[in-house]
Structure 1
Amino acid sequence: MGSVMADQDEDPLDSEQFIERDPTGRYGRYGELLGSGAVKKVYRAFDQEEGIEVAWNQVKLRNFCDDETMINRLYSEVRLLRNLKNKNIIALYHVWRDKEKNTLNFITEVCTSGNLREYRKKHKQVSMKALKKWSRQILKGLDYLHTHEPCVIHRDLNCSNVFINGNIGQVKIGDLGLAASVGKNHSAHSVLGTPEFMAPELYEENYTESIDIYSFGMCLLEMVTLELPYSECENIAKIYKKVTSGVRPEAMNKVKDPEVQAFIEKCLAQPRARPSASDLLKDPFFDGILDYDDENADDEDGVN
């Protein structure tokens, strides 16, 4: 336990701020909760070695009792994240299982402004140009996941799983808890996700990475209208009925710009007609749009 103790020259007041430390003593967790979902809680934490704030994701394994399938799925999320290196995907730094507390913990990158849903609610006056910049970065992240070997399907893309560094307009996809790494045939067979954002074929348990494009379309719809798709439905059964019948959410009627409406419709098309992330990035919708990564590519490329 020695590595977890505070160093002699460390301010004791600082060390008391940490509720918990990782086994190496490098990462300290604060009490502040950044977010919580069905499976995990996310706390503000600190990487003492790099001097940066990070997110401490904690999963209470007792919630799954003897459900080895679920525990294995959580481990596969973490293994998956470790292999993903992209500017538009939240990075994973460290992972361990705490046998005493029966928790699975992993340290990830943190975005200063939280998730896109909350950020958009906070800043209601946002230009279409800015929304396109965010959208482009989400698509770049999806393109990376979908062309990864093996292909990775997120399966639960929505505005609460996309994070933003608001000071620089940089957007990253996170929370790959339901991501499926699929083989050569690019199809997966389990029903998971957020109903309002789920493609119809996802309910049929036979789908490809194009379900993420459908979800992206719903994300863009939410970004534009500030309304959760299908908020007119009282329950999941009604959402399911509309989605599987191809009935669009009422929020679509609030999209006044025909170019934006047409672009969202492309994303919501039937699976075979749905474009890939790569196709969408080449769409005239993004003509003349440079996002954070484009504007800073020269700086990074010019280092050598």
Structure 2
Amino acid sequence: MAQRGKSPFPDERLQELTQPDPTNRASVGDSPADLQTLAHDVIRGDFSQVRRLATRQLVSSADAARRTVLMLVADAPETPVKSEKCILYLFEVGANPKAADANGDTAAHLAARRDHLRLLTLLSFDAKWLRNDNGATPLMEAARTGSWKCAKHLLHLLRQAMFNECRQHGNSKRSRLLGLEDREGRMASDLARLSGHSELASYIEREMRLVVDADGEISGLTAQEEAERLELQRLAKAGDLAGLRRAATRDSCDLPDNDGCTALMWAAENSSCGDEALWEQLVQLGDPTCADVDADSILLRAARAGNSAAASALLSAGASANATSMWEFTLLMSAAICARPSAAAAVGRVLLDSGADWSLKDRDGRTALDLATQKGKSELAELLRGYDGKIYFYEPLALPPEGPPFLERWDALRLIRRGGFGEVHEVRTDTGVTCAAKTLRLPVQLGDDQTSVSTEIHRAVESERNLCRLRHPNIVRFLHIAQPEPAAVVVFMELLDGRSLERFIDNKPLDEPKIRDFSEQICRALLYLHSRQPLVIHRDINCSNIIVCADNTQIKLIDFGLSIKLEQSVSHISASTPSPKGTLNFMAPELLGAGESDSLQYSRESDIWAFGCSVFQMASGVRPFANAKSLLEMAQLIDRKGVPALPDGRSAELRDFYSRCTAKDRRRRRSAHELLEHEFLTGRKLQPGFFSSFFSARK
């Protein structure tokens, strides 16, 4: 029913939006093999190959089933983040999103059937509502096949004013599109129920029950649904991660308020909700592409808040790195305008790695670089300056790694550094990859059973392969871990251009803004590691294992105590004596036997202690416990005096922050999540009475 004062959505406009054009039937081309190869490269995310192969003639042609390359890609179950730029290039050279195959199916129909959200998201709105030969729209196909992600995407698009045209037609356009029937008179909800997807059918029926009025306000939730929505909103705003995990369901996490805001939107713009495990759950339950009535998406809010964990999860789940707001602001622009400086750079790296177009301009002709420079976001501006003057579709994307970076061998080019367990070289592999390789040689003795040692090392290596899945702007990228010899392990990592934080400090204290910036980045990396399943402990945080990149603004954690883990794995079958390993000055008291337990147990808390010792070195210029020469001496010093005090002249906020990291009782140390909310990092002032908490935290 049309709302008062608003005209119903015209029949001719509805037909134009849903009826296919017979001239869009794809014609069979001469190169079906090239078509398959191109589709394979798009699905892999190999932009260099796609750019080499894709021509206007090839992307317009079809195979024997009249399927174009876009349809072949749509019929894949999923694609990596880096496929977005490949798909956009297909459009750039002339791919027709409305082309239909022999059955009248478009790329949207095929994507909806396969629940291929990434491709469906990138299609234009008017390519998502065409009927096939059975009169079915992509929404009907998603409903029939139980494709929740694509069904939600299509349903939620019609909450946006730019698509539902509520200012002109009220709820009419939206209700007519959702109520379309196929040739047998069945709506999307009917098809879902007939196919055994009753939960999805109920979800579609609820969406049809909602009303968007002429002002764009959404209504129609039941009292129970509104209560669930309010509870999720409260948890998201409070940053209650455990509560969100418990309360969020597939049915509830996309419930809209009057403006179309959902729980995921509130969580995305809350920097306290930067937990990767939480977002991995939320993007499975909710619609990662959802936006409010003004087209402000979850990802746009994550970019504004600098929430890189949310942004990374949303992009992986199918959200577009090139989405824009109603006001034509890109995600990079939003980060440049709204996010805090270090957070803006972190989320900017995530977006650029995912194929965001840095060259787009807002209505005033400004790029993301212009806005970052104007807003004083120097780190993001420096990052974007590396792309200045470059053409988006001329710049390659790094291909996602598939297995080891070598076939059989690698050659050392130069020695980077030498340590107690081995050496780090810059190497070039036989596949042309240049990276860093750390060779670890384990202290195996003559009487040891070589087979048992090799087996134990192999088991330890396998347990640490999850390092190669880590993706964070403040953590070195691990490429592969190999065991070329029974007692030798080689760890392949990205090659970094920079110097260690210890060399950066160079025995001179850093100023507090720099300490704050570096500490926030380290905390974000620790939050990411400590939230992983399975848990990742660094084991050897110190200023030598933190790299300050060449721009002197970004830091990365390196050298994840793998040598410690490997030596522990063989100590029980070796004649060597097990003892705590790591950098002496940064070892937590519980690892020295000076705490509440004599057992050797690396933990989140031991990482936090080591981070606190790094804060001390940044603030003082020297390592803590610099004169300690042995484990026993370290243990006695900590037991007798606790940690050394920071130098005079440091702020109360920094002193309190340091104390929260270095409580002797590990149970009193703050988590990375709690530290990110501390006054020192947020810029707030400590409340009166902090001195009592300062002294109690150090006990």
For 1:108-187, what aligned pairs fall within 5 Å after superposition? Answer: 108-121=493-506, 124=508, 126-178=510-562
What is the CA–CA distance in structure 1 between the aligned matches of 2:517 and 2:487, rounded to whole Å? 41
The change in CA–CA distance for 1:286 and 1:254 in structure 2 (over 3 A counts) is same
2:169 is aligned to none
Question: What do residues 218-258 of structure 1 show as CA deviations (whole Å, max 9, x unaligned)?
Answer: 00101111111111334432112112345223xx2525313
Are 1:195 and 1:240, in contact at CA under 8 Å, matched by a contact in 2? no
Q: CA 1:137 to 1:48, structure 2 compared with 1: closer, same or farther past 3 Å?
A: farther
Q: 1:73 to 1:26 in 2, by over 3 A?
A: closer
After superposition, residues 196-207 of structure 1 pair within 5 angstroms as: 196-203=585-592, 204-205=598-599, 207=601
Spell out the pairing of 1:168-247 with structure 2 (5 A cutoff).
Answer: 168-178=552-562, 191-203=580-592, 204-205=598-599, 207=601, 208-247=603-642
Query: What does residue 39 of structure 1 align with?
Result: 421
- Give the superposition deviation at 1:25: 6.5
Name the SS for the 2:656 alignment partner: helix
| Paired residue type of 1:119 | F
In the other structure, the counterpart of 2:440 is 59
Paired position in structure 2 for 1:264: 658
Greater helix proportion: 2
Kindly indicate which of the two structures has a greater share of residues assigned to strand.
1
Higher relative contact order (CA 8 A, sep 6+): 1
- List gaps (5 residues or longer) in structure 1: 1-21, 181-188, 290-304
Residues of 2 paired with 1:192 and 1:91: CA distance?
Answer: 24
Deviates further, 205-214 or 260-269: 205-214
Q: Tell me how far 1:78 sits from its aligned partner.
A: 4.7
Corresponding residue number in structure 2 for 1:92 = 478
Deviations 1:238-294 (CA, angstroms, capped at 9, x unpaired)? 112112345223xx25253133222111111122221100100111111259xxxxx
1:77/1:177 contact within 8 Å kept: no
Deviation at 1:76, TM superposition (A): 4.5
Instruction: Give the secondary structure class of the aligned counterpart of 2:599.
Output: coil
Deviation at 1:120, TM superposition (A): 1.6
Mapped contact 1:156–1:193 kept (Cα < 8 A): yes
Which has the larger Rg? 2
Q: Which runs of 5+ in 2 are unaligned?
A: 1-404, 566-577, 593-597, 685-699
Q: Pick which of 191-200 and 69-78 moved more.
A: 69-78
Tell me if structure 2 keeps the 8 A contact 1:190–1:205. no
Amino acid at match of 2:477: A
Aligned partner letter, 2:483: R
C-alpha displacement at 1:160, in angstroms?
0.9
Residues 235, 206 of structure 1: CA spacing in aligned structure 2 closer, same or farther, 3 A cutoff? closer
Distance 2:517 2:608 in 1: 17
User: Would you say the 8 A contact 1:224–1:255 is kept in 2?
Assistant: no
Q: How many residues align?
A: 253
Q: 1:28 to 1:82 in 2, by over 3 A?
A: same
1:82 aligns with 2:473: no
SS at match of 1:153: coil
Cross-structure match for 1:104: 489
Per the alignment, do residues 80 and 246 of structure 1 end up closer, same or farther by CA in structure 2, a change over 3 Å counting? Answer: farther
* 1:155–1:245 Cα change, 3 Å: farther
The RMSD of aligned alpha carbons is 3.1
**1:195 Cα offset (Å):** 2.2
Q: Note closer, same or farther for the CA distance 1:209–1:126 as it changes in structure 2 (3 Å cut).
A: closer
CA contact (8 A) 2:561 2:582 kept: no
Deviations 1:51-72 (A, max 9, x none): 7x521111235x4353448724
CA distance in 1, matches of 2:631, 2:548: 28
Q: Is the 2:509–2:620 Cα contact (8 Å) retained in structure 1? A: no
Contact persistence 2:476–2:494 (CA under 8 A): yes
Q: Distance in 1 between matches of 2:636 and 2:611?
A: 20
User: How many angstroms apart in 2 are the aligned matches of 1:199 and 1:125?
Assistant: 23
- The 1:69/1:272 distance shift into structure 2, 3 A limit, reads farther
SS of residue in 2 equivalent to 1:104: strand
Are the equivalent residues in 1 in contact too, given 2:407–2:430 (CA < 8 A)? Answer: no
Distance between the aligned counterparts of 1:170 and 1:48, measured in 2?
Answer: 31
SS in 2 for 1:265: helix
- Evaluate the alpha carbon distance shift between residue 160 and residue 168 of structure 1 in structure 2; reply closer, same or farther with a 3 A threshold: closer
- 1:278 is aligned to 673
- Identical pairs, percent: 27
Q: By how many angstroms is 1:35 displaced? A: 1.7
1:41-97 CA distances to partner (integer Å, 9 max, x unpaired)?
A: 10123468677x521111235x43534487247614751311222221111113333
